[in-house]
Amino acid sequence: MRLSRRGLLRAGLAGTAATALGGLASGCAVPTGSTGRNMVLWYWSGGLSDTVVKNAKARYDRSVDLEAIQIGGQYRSKLITTITGQAHIPDIAGLKGEDMAAYLPNADQFIDLRTLGAEKYRGQYLSWKWDQGIADDGTMVGFPIDCGPVAHYYQFEVFRRAGLPYEPDDVSSGLNTWEKFFDAGVQLGKRVPGAKLLTDINSVFENVVQQGAKRYVDKDRHFIGDQEHVRRAWALAVEAKQRRIVSDLVSGTPDQLSAIQDGKLPSQLNASWASFDIKNGVPKTKGRWRVAQMPVRPANSGGSFLSITKACREPERAFEIITWMLNASNQAQGYVDAGLFPSTPASYGLKPMQEQDDFFGGQVTTDVFGPAAQKIVVAYNSPFDIALGQPLKDEIKNVGVLGKDPKKAWSDAMSKCRRIAKHLGVSY
Amino acid sequence: MAVLEHTPPAVAQPSPTQPKKGWRKYWHLYAAISPFYLIFLGFGLFPVGFSFYLSFHRWDGLGSMEWAGLSQYQYLLSDSDFWNSIGNTLIIWALATFPMILLAMVTAVMLNSAVRLKGLYRVAYFLPNVTSVVAIAIVFGSIFSTNAGMVNAVLNAVGIDQVAWLNTPWGIKITIAALMTWQWTGYNAIIFLAGLQTIPSELYEAARVDGAGPIQTFFRITLPLLRPTLLFVLVVSTVTGLQSFSEPQVLLQTSSNDSTFAGGPGHSGQTMVLYFFQQTFDNNDFGYGAAVAWGIFLVVVLFSIINWRLVQRRGE
């Protein structure tokens, strides 16, 4: 047969079509999620201890090929779009604590862990943390990883120089109310020129809200951000500004980091995981820090969960893996590797948790975070808290950084919240 | 001897056939170009249509969609944060683009007259454009920081009080604009350089004979003849500037619990696209996010029409 351009073109197209069909056929053969022994676990950088992940792979090697994938970037968006797309959904998915509000109303996308025997583990975990993983209809979506008890990080030498208590126990008891805390800030400003106790006004506002039992939207989809608990948080934040104990800097900026290093911002109210941020952000301050209890009552910030998606073909096996990875011993390892403070109180007494931390001058930080974690009270987690809390955070930041009038700021926040509530279908 | 006369054998005439119809004649051409259109259909057109559909619903990305009619657009029109983001975007665009064009023009003229190391200069000026935006935003964040920044160190050295660049509404906009100006000056200088090289040298020779100096030559010959290039640069800068995102996001993100798309204190650096990201991915409000996206589209269309009118006027 004589060769021709047309003939070659036909042959090429036929080959392409055959390849495409082959791909399509093999694509159809693979169910969503995993195949055979494959089991996929999604988590983010710092979300789990790499040591524990590696050990889990080795431990369950005979029954499954555990494939643990670190997902970078916008983790929640990627997980949501993957679930919505109904393709390549992981079997086990990490869920960030601050995103639980988005997952809980969609509990039908996950397997109810109670059906796999989760209840018998309940007693080993912090009860408030356990409850946070449960949807309104009682479905247990998330199994606890870590929690984020908030404490008062401070540079003891600056406190000593300011004539304030500087040993952890003395700071915990001496600054145990917001008024005493603010008084200490005023004294700091007088004795140490240029020093401010806290970086930003939002750390007061948000911690006061977080240490309470209510937030911005309740279980009945009713806006409660204009009620007494938020008004009080707002008033305390404004007082902190007016008494000049907060700076006008923004967290995470070079200005803030250099001020911390110079001892001009000696305090932070931050979660247990923030110790890694401090160590990485201002490494030269090693040995200068101590940790004490925060005023009134500990708040919680962050803390994640593992879930089993509906796409998982072997949920019993997945549950076995999850419960092993998140037992007391492995959670203690998670703290050492990744700063993941355990949600299992039994971990607190284990050797890795009792090590002296040189960065904190040899202090055993578990002695502060452990008791704090067990005293935490948490609010109902509404999917509308983010949208309806944002105007308040924006406006209090305007008061702190831009010097906006607090009354005007509150009024602006309230009118924005009403608009957003109406838009989202939240009553007020 | 008789002459033998041979008749050539009869040649069969081909039977007449009907001409092929159009599509059968050119099917292989359609097949050749079809991959682009199929990909565009699946990954370009469908998402556009779906986002339009989405903008009439409420959806959190996981649950069921709930019909919302025009309420998303009604909310958009009365959303002061959206209008604020439009204002921010336009201000930052203006603060960045006009100095950039001026600097790029001057740079291009200098590059055009350079004799030695011409290639080296061009590469050097082009480098900012290919540098990672994230890395540069972090560097600019340090340069413009209040207490430790280089800019304030210079200002203090000449007796000017330090400015809280990243904590004040105008400081934020100026910083973002400076970053964008730095990033795009070299790129557009290369484009202007290309435009300069299309100007016939005879015009300059004639001007020189007539006694025109360099300043006069620039404003009477170079600038008028560069006008098409200038308009091109303006159009591209407009479309690019209206979609700015990474610069304010990286520059103003913080390690606190605040949104990385908030655009700093007072939302002073929140551009339209940052606002879209905040509504969609922070709030899981995909329906409203789609409406915001269409709002952005309309703004870009409006400015494209304005630019088109400018170009048309030049043509007349």
Contact residues, B window 38-67, toward A, CB-based 8 Å cutoff = 58, 60-63
For residue B169, the chain A residues in CB contact (below 8 A) are 402
Based on the fold, state whether residues A400 and A253 are members of the same structural domain: yes
Position B209: which residue type?
V
A37 DSSP assignment? T
Q: Which residues of chain B lie closer than 8 angstroms to A203, CB-CB?
A: 256
Q: Residue B10's pLDDT is what?
A: 56
Task: Note whether A213 and A343 are same-domain residues.
Answer: no
Per-residue pLDDT, A16: 55
Question: What was the pLDDT predicted at A10?
Answer: 56
Looking at the structure, do residues A69 and A164 belong to the same domain, yes or no? no
pLDDT of residue B16: 60
pLDDT of residue A348: 92
Q: Which of A6, A102, A423 sits opposite B284 (nearest CB)?
A: A102
pLDDT score, position B83 = 93
A77 and A132 part of one domain: yes
Q: Residue B167's pLDDT band (boundaries 50, 70, 90)?
A: confident
Question: Which amino acid, one-letter code, is at B164?
Answer: A
Kindly state the tokens that stand for A242.
């007016």
Query: If you average pLDDT over every residue of chain B, what do you get?
Result: 85
Residue of A nearest to B80 (CA): A416
Check residue B254 and give its pLDDT. 67
Contacts of B267 in chain A (CB under 8 A): 394
pLDDT tens per residue across span A105-151: 999 999 999 999 999 999 999 999 999 999 999 999 999 999 999 99
Q: What is the pLDDT of residues A220-270, one digit of tens each?
A: 999 999 999 999 999 999 999 999 999 888 777 788 888 999 999 999 999
Residue among B254, B262, B267 minimizing CB distance to A252: B254
**Phi and psi (nearest 5°) for A146?**
-120, 175
Count how many residues are written for chain A: 428
- A150-155 β-sheet, strand order: A267-271, A150-155, A289-292
State the residue for tokens 């796999």. Answer: A116
Beta-strand (E) ranges in A242-349? 267-271, 289-292, 305-308, 341-342
Kindly state whether residues A321 and A246 are assigned to the same domain: no
Contact A339, A273 (CB under 8 A): yes
| pLDDT exceeds 80 at position B253 | no
Using CB atoms, which residue from A203, A255, A277 is nearest to B147?
A: A255
Cα–Cα distances in angstroms (integers) from residue B213 to residues A231, A322, B195, in the given order: 70, 80, 21
Partners of A217 in the β-ladder: A223
* pLDDT at site B14: 58
Is residue A364, in this structure, part of any structural domain at all? no
pLDDT computed for residue B160 by the predictor = 85
Q: In this structure, what token pair is assigned to residue A47?
A: 């979300």
Determine which of A25-29, A386-390, B246-250 has the lowest per-residue pLDDT on average.
A25-29
The verdict on B128 touching A (C-beta cutoff 8 Å) is no
CA-nearest residue of chain A to B267?
A394
Q: How confident is the model at residue A72 (pLDDT cuts 50, 70, 90)?
A: confident
Answer yes or no: is pLDDT of B316 > 50: no
List the structure tokens of B3.
Answer: 């002459």
Of B60, B253, B258, the CB nearest to A102: B60
**Nearest Cα to A110, choosing from A74, A50, B285, A118?**
A118
- The yes-or-no verdict on residue B19 having pLDDT over 80 is no
- Top CATH class of B87-313 equals mainly alpha
Are residue A291 and residue A314 in the same domain, yes or no?
no
**A-chain residues within 8 Å CB-CB of B60?**
102, 105-106, 383
Cross-chain residue pair A250–B265, CB shorter than 8 Å: yes
Number of domains in chain A: 2
Rg (CA), chain B: 30
pLDDT at A23 over 50: no
Domain shared by A123 and A259, yes or no: no
Cα torsion through A92, A96, A99, A102, rounded to 10: 10
Contact check, Cβ <8 Å, B266/A402: yes
The verdict on B78 touching A (C-beta cutoff 8 Å) is yes
Q: Which of A106, A206, A425 has its CB closest to that of B257?
A: A206
Residue A74's CATH number:
3.40.190.10
B205 touches chain A (CB under 8 A): no
Q: Which residues of B touch A104 (CB under 8 A)?
A: none
How confident is the model over A25-42, as pLDDT tens digits?
A: 333 333 444 455 789 999
A196-205 pLDDT tens trace:
999 889 999 9
Domain around A257: 149-301+378-424
Indicate the pLDDT class of residue A12, thresholds 50, 70 and 90.
Answer: low
Is residue A118 one of the residues assigned to a domain?
Answer: yes
A105 interface with B at CB cutoff 8 Å: yes
Q: Does residue A407 register a pLDDT over 80?
A: yes
Q: What is the pLDDT of residues B191-222, one digit of tens each?
A: 999 998 888 888 888 888 888 888 888 888 88
CB nearest B255 (choices: A77, A103, A277) = A277
Kindly state whether A254 is in contact with chain B, defined as any CB-CB distance less than 8 angstroms: yes
Q: Are the Cβ atoms of A253 and B166 closer than 8 angstroms?
A: yes
pLDDT, tens digit, 9 for 90 and up, residues A299-342: 999 899 999 999 998 999 999 999 999 999 999 999 988 889 99
Residues A245 and A390 in one domain: yes
- What is residue A323's predicted lDDT score, i.e. its pLDDT? 95
Task: Provide the residue type at A217 as one letter.
Answer: V
Are A187 and A295 in the same domain? yes
Report yes or no: B294 and B283 within 8 Å, Cβ to Cβ: no
What crossing angle do the helices spanning A385-397 and A201-210 adopt, rounded to 10°?
150
Q: How many CB pairs below 8 Å do chains A and B form together? A: 112
Domain limits, chain B? 87-313
Tell me: do A104 and A162 sit in the same domain.
Answer: no
Instruction: Tell me what the mean pLDDT of segment B73-82 comes to.
Output: 90
Give the whole-angstrom CA distance, residue B269 versus residue B262.
Answer: 8
Mean of the per-residue pLDDT values of chain A:
88
**Domain match, A231 and A292 both:** yes
Nearest-CA distance B21 → chain A (Å): 18
Asked whether residue A297 falls in the same domain as residue A227, the answer is yes
Confidence check: pLDDT of A24 > 50: no
pLDDT at B173: 92
pLDDT at residue B66, rounded to an integer = 85
Q: Which residue of A has its CA nearest to B287?
A: A424
Tell me the per-residue pLDDT of A260-299, one tens digit each, with 9 for 90 and over: 999 999 999 999 988 888 888 899 999 999 999 999 999 9
Q: Which residues on B lie below 8 Å from A258 (Cβ)?
A: 145, 147-148
Query: Are the Cβ atoms of A74 and B146 closer than 8 angstroms?
Result: no
